[in-house]
Each structure stands twice: as C-alpha cells, then as structure tokens.
Amino acid sequence: MSNTAAKSGLRSRSPVEKAKDLQERARQKRIKLEGAAEAETLAPTQKTKASRRGVPSPKLVEEAERAFLMQEQLGLFTALPLRPSNEFPSLLARLPIFPAIARSRQQPLLDKDNALPFKTPFGRGRRHGPPVCIEDEDYLIALTRLRQKAVRGHGTKLPIPITSNPGFADNEGNVQVHVVHCTIVQILEEMGLDTNAGPGYQRVVEALYRLRNVSIELETRKQEKYLGKVTRSTSFKLVDIDMATFESNGVVFAQFHPIVAKWLQHDATFLDWSVRRQLRGRNARALHRFLSSQPKDYENDLATIAEITGWEGEKRKLRSQVEAALKQMQALNWVDSWEFTGTGRRIPYRLIVHRS
C-alpha cells in the first residue's frame, strides 16, 4: 500500500475507531492461536456482547492514543500538550444554552423547529438538538478539564474530520481543535462521583450522547457599508464525541470545535470547579457560572439575571431562591456580600453582589 493510500485510510477513521479495529484483530488472532474454532461460530450479536464485556477500557485508550500518534507522524496534523484548569468559555457562561430548567420541562420553550431560542445582552441565537441542562454542562466542564492536546491541521485531516470555515480557518485552511482520550471512569472521577455505580455510568453515557448532538446557532448584527445593519448567523457543534462502551467502563475520544477551542484559550472565564461541585441545585450552579464571568462587584435586575441563566422557578419566589443560592456561595467563601434594591412591584428587584 502506498503512503498516500495509507494516509487516506487513516483519515477516514477516528483514533477510537482505529483502536477498536486493532483490538478486534488482536482478539481474532488470539482465538485462532488458541484453536477456539467454536468461538468463530457464534452469532454476530453474541460475539459483540462478549467483546464489549471483555475489552479493558484503559487498554483501548492506549490503542487509540497509538493510532492518534501514528496519524500525527504521518503529517496529517500537529499536536501540542495542554494544561487545562478552571477555564470555561466566557460566552457560554453568559448564555442559557444549558439552562437550570430540567430537560423534561423545556418542551414549552422550544420553537417550531424544536430549537431553544435565547436572547440576552451578550448574544442571541438558538440551541439545536436534544434538550440539555445544568447536569449536562457538568459533564462538558469535566471534559474540558480532561483535555490533553491542541491539534492543528486541515479540517478534513483532523482525528474527527470537520468542514473548514473561513470564520475560524487560516489562509491555508488549517484549524485548531482540542482533544481528549479518556475513560468514562475518569469522567466520573473528575466529577467526584462514585465510579462503581451503574446508574452513574449510564448517566455519563447518556449525557455524552446528548452533548455530541447539540449545535449552537449564534446571531450577530454588524454595520455594513452599503447594506446598513445586517444580521449574520453562525452554527457549530460544541464537541464531537466518539465512544466505545462496555458493561463497566468505556473509552471516549472528544474533539472540541475550533470556535470552542479558541474561546478556551483566548476568551475564557475562571470557573471554580471545586465550588461548583459543592453547590446544590441547578439554579445555584447556573448563577455561579454566570457570576464567574462578571466583575467581582456586579449588579443587575433580577429578572435579567434569571433570563440569562435560564432560571427555573416561580417569579414570586425569585428573590428568595437567589438569596438561598448566594448563601451557599458565601458558605464556600466565594461570595462576600450582597444586597437587593427595589420593591419587586413598581421598582424591579435589583441584585448587587460583592466578591473578593
């Protein structure tokens, strides 16, 4: 096989897919050497089930990483190590893409295209795909914290190929994405959850399926010389995810979109993960996320804050619920003090927050 053909073959499969191929070849070779002819007569569904039960995920991660390295050595892309911490895209922290509203209660908020529209002082647009909420955002944050490498190359040659776009590609059509190889157990560990719990494992898998099917449509208004104010729309996926799941673990390859990778490097908010993990309730985590992206001395109308965070609850209880969330943050030494102004009737409630 020529080098060109080899490159073409590698280009069409992600590292996880190639690792699964290598794992299956090794399994077939082992069966043949052991003379286990009867295993070859198993129905395809039986063989798949046995394979899913027996393949160790850490081993599969190693195979995927070797396949990734092979692609890099062939010159399909270049990769540099990352040292992620508490960064989170500032714009995502200021938009209700992951609202505090339970997924089961978001249906009335969707438009005729089953998309969630949003309009805030920081941007407007729509979220497409399955309903997601704060819990799904927790898994997204865990993945950002597990990122390993910044990968640069032509969109069609990336581990998970994407279509290049002039908005985020350079003159040669190259883009940069962030990637991670990990196991589902590692995601649970990052979130401080029980790694032996079956339901917890299943929740991770379900959340990752939702995340990889979410796309964001953002609108911007710009002044054009001849056309006046023009609204432009950009649509993109947050993250591409390839998975191989087994009975007690699984291997994950996640590739963050070039726009998200750019935000993580150049327009990020410090989101204290240790504080977020201790906050109880969706509303508290949504408020913490938003306030993390604002100045330490911040004030705004309560109604505006509720709209930005996708607050869940009755309007008449908004002030008491916000105060309950702030008390949690104060107990964790994240908020110093706050006060409310206004009456909630003729004069809207306004929140003033102070952080050190």
Calculate the CA 232 to chain-centre distance. 24
pLDDT band at residue 164 under the 50/70/90 scheme = low
302-309 and 318-331 helices, crossing angle to 10° = 70
pLDDT band at residue 49 under the 50/70/90 scheme = very low
pLDDT band at residue 286 under the 50/70/90 scheme = very high
DSSP-derived 3-state class of residue 126: strand
In 10 A of CB 317, how many CB atoms? 10
pTM of this prediction exceeds 0.85: no
Instruction: Give the single-character DSSP code of 332.
Output: T
At 54-111, the pLDDT tens digits run 455 777 788 888 888 888 888 899 999 999 999 999 999 999 999 999 999 999 999 9
pLDDT at 239: 97
In 10 A of CB 165, how many CB atoms? 15
b (16+ CB within 10 A) / e for 69-92: eebbeeebbebeebeeebbbbbbb
Q: Which residues contact 232 (CB under 8 A, 6 or more apart)?
A: 219, 220, 221, 222
Torsion angles phi and psi, residue 246, rounded to 5: -130, -175
Lowest model confidence (mean pLDDT) among 188-197, 215-224, 227-236, 244-253:
227-236
Nearest Cα to 233, choosing from 167, 174, 171? Answer: 167
Calculate the CA 41 to chain-centre distance. 41
Tell me the pairing of strands 337-341 and 350-354.
antiparallel
C-alpha distances (whole Å) from 21 to each of 9, 16, 28, 186, 263 are 13, 9, 11, 23, 34
Output the CA torsion sign for 155, 156, 161, 164.
Answer: positive
Tokens 């295209």 sit on residue: 113
* Calpha distance 84→254 (Å, rounded): 15
Tokens 């190590």 sit on residue: 81
- More confident position, 2 or 181: 181
At 262-272, the pLDDT tens digits run 999 999 999 99
